[in-house]
Amino acid sequence: MTDTLAVATRYVNALNAGDFATVAGMFADEIVWHQPGSSQLSGTYRGAPAVGELLGATMTLSEGTLRLAATGAPMVNGDVCAFPIHFSGKRSNGAEMSMDGVDVLRIEGEKIAEVWLFSSAQADEDAFWGAG
């Protein structure tokens, strides 16, 4: 459990600092990322390159305004960790989002092997990212 907490804490600290290079370096080669909803970004992404492309797309679509911050302490159950998060972004077309969510990580060794995201206002998030 200590390894899970340590990895999750590094992830949370990197998110809070906007250090996406560190975040990406924490991914297992075969990471599985579950992006919720029905937007153009929604779906399951497999492998670090695919997840990297997804994260790049979020920055492109948000015009570099996407901000994420953990709003509470990580909660650990074995190799799984959940933590509350707030995320926001604005686009030049007037689209905005600002909402809470929960990120769930599954840790293997020192790497993040799987990620599930949950949004408090999924329809609003889908509208921000655009139709799928």
pLDDT in tens, 66-119: 999 999 999 999 999 999 999 999 999 999 999 999 999 999 989 999 999 999
Strands 67-70, 96-108: pairing is: unpaired
Distance CA 70, CA 126 (A): 21
E-strand ranges in the chain read 27-35, 43-46, 67-70, 75-77, 80-90, 96-108, 111-119
Residues facing 34 on adjacent strands: 44, 116
pTM: 0.93
* Residue 74 per-residue DSSP state: -
d(CA 84, CA 42): 20
List the domains of the chain with CATH numbers: 2-129 (3.10.450.50)
